[in-house]
């Protein structure tokens, strides 16, 4: 893709040996680790690597917690991992953390950065040139106020704990870049009214994308999607409790059951904003329904 090996960090803490050999072939020098097993593996397959130690500092409220899978205990294990690397003549050059994707516990960033500072000090004490801090990702891409709050906390913490300009601060802002870059537009192809006492209590719409396609974000990213209609705006337009289904034959293919929309018809379109992160890249053509086409529009 044209990226230089020096600018790449192999940030998955659990790497197949074949991937390490490929990284060695391409001279990708920096790898993230969080267990002694990974350090021994790197010592065997790619001892020239520069290691970044990832510790656990999970947010109390996150859309996708990651602590059960990645990150060593900062107090009990991080220093031991650095000492192990030292004993194996490996180089440790940085520290990383990830408070959880879609973090709503903003002070978690300050807690993590303060812990990272202590680990930097320990690494320097045992002779390492500590120069990289990876503050992870999960930053909101569709809420400017929330992002501004996180940015203020991060910047204040970095100024306090990492004023040295020789330390490179990096992050993993995938969600931030693309969450609001896409709006998904779907077509209603079937409709059903659920009635009680001759009254339609619930309207069901079946659309041409679902949880095996773009809406896999509901299952795997715990997203709550917003449905918008294209009818002419009218404050007096009656709205009904709405359940929206995907197109497959699976009853798990439910998109939302708490929307309120006007009376729509087959052939009408429904839009879902902020559908850029963890949607189409993970979609499959299950049951023969193709993934949506991407169309680009230039803003005036």
HEC assignment per residue over the chain:
CCCCHHHCEECCCCCCHHHHHHHHHCCCCEEEECCHHHHHHHHHHCCCCEEEEEECCCCCCEEECCCCCCCECCCCCHHHHHHHHHHCCCEEEEEECCCCEEECCCHHHHHHHHHHHHHHHHHHHCCCCCCEEEEEECCCCCCHHHHHHHHHHHHHHHHHHCCCCCCEEEEECHHHHHCCCCCEEEEEEEEEEEEECCEEEEEEEEECCCCCCCCHHHHHCCCCCCCEECCCCCCCCCCEEEEEECCCCCCCCEEEEEEEECCCCCCCEEEECCCCCCCHHHCCCHHHCCCCCCCCCCCC
User: Quick one: pLDDT at residue 288?
Assistant: 92
User: Quick one: pLDDT at residue 203?
Assistant: 94
User: Quick one: pLDDT at residue 233?
Assistant: 65
Taking the whole predicted model, whether its pTM rises above 0.85 is answered as yes
Token pair, residue 250, equals 């699976």
Token pair, residue 1, equals 């893709």
User: Quick one: pLDDT at residue 45?
Assistant: 96
User: Quick one: pLDDT at residue 97?
Assistant: 97
User: Quick one: pLDDT at residue 234?
Assistant: 63
User: Quick one: pLDDT at residue 237?
Assistant: 80
- Indicate the CATH number of 5-178 among 3.20.20.10, 3.40.50.880, 3.30.1120.80, 3.50.50.60: 3.20.20.10
CA distances from 187 to 56, 207, 259, 264, 285 (A): 43, 5, 16, 11, 17
Q: Walk along the chain (300 residues) in steps of 10 and give the mean pLDDT of each run.
A: 93 96 96 98 97 94 87 96 98 96 90 97 97 93 93 97 94 92 96 82 95 95 92 77 96 94 95 94 92 88
Which architecture does CATH list for 184-288? Beta Barrel (2.40)
Give domain limits for the chain. 5-178, 184-288
- Catalytic annotation, residues: 249
User: Quick one: pLDDT at residue 254?
Assistant: 97
Non-local (6+) Cβ contacts of 200 within 8 A are 193, 194, 240
User: Quick one: pLDDT at residue 300?
Assistant: 75
User: Quick one: pLDDT at residue 235?
Assistant: 63
CA distances from 6 to 22, 27, 29, 133, 294 (A): 15, 8, 7, 16, 32
Token pair, residue 75, equals 């107090």
């Amino acid at each position: 893709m044209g990226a230089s090996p020096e600018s790449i960090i192999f940030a998955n803490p659990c790497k197949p040996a074949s991937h390490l050999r490929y990284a060695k072939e391409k001279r990708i020098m920096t790898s993230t680790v969080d267990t002694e097993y990974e350090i021994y593996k790197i010592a065997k397959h790619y001892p020239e690597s520069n290691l970044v130690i990832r510790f656990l500092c999970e947010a109390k409220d996150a859309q996708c917690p990651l602590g059960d899978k990645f990150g060593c205990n900062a107090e009990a294990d991080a220093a031991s991992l650095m000492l192990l690397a030292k004993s194996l003549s490996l180089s440790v050059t940085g520290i990383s953390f990830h408070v959880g994707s879609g973090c709503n516990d903003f002070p978690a960033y300050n807690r993590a950065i303060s812990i990272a500072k202590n680990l930097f000090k320990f690494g320097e004490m045992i002779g390492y040139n500590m120069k990289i801090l990876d503050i992870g990702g999960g930053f909101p891409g569709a809420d400017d106020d929330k992002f501004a709050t996180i940015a203020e906390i991060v910047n204040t913490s970095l100024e306090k704990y990492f004023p040295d300009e020789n330390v490179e601060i990096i992050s993993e802002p995938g969600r931030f870049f693309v969450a609001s870059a896409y709006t998904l537009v779907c077509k209603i192809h079937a409709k059903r009214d659920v009635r009680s006492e001759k009254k339609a209590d619930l309207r069901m719409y079946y659309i041409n994308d679902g949880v095996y396609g773009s809406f896999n974000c509901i299952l795997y990213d715990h997203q709550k999607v917003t449905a918008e209609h294209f009818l002419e705006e009218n404050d007096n337009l009656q709205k009904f409790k709405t359940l929206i289904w995907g197109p497959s034959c699976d009853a798990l293919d439910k998109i939302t059951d708490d929307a309120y929309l006007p009376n729509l018809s087959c052939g009408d379109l429904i839009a879902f904003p902020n559908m850029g992160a963890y949607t189409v890249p993970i979609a499959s053509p299950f049951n023969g329904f193709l993934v949506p086409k991407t169309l680009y529009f230039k803003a005036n």
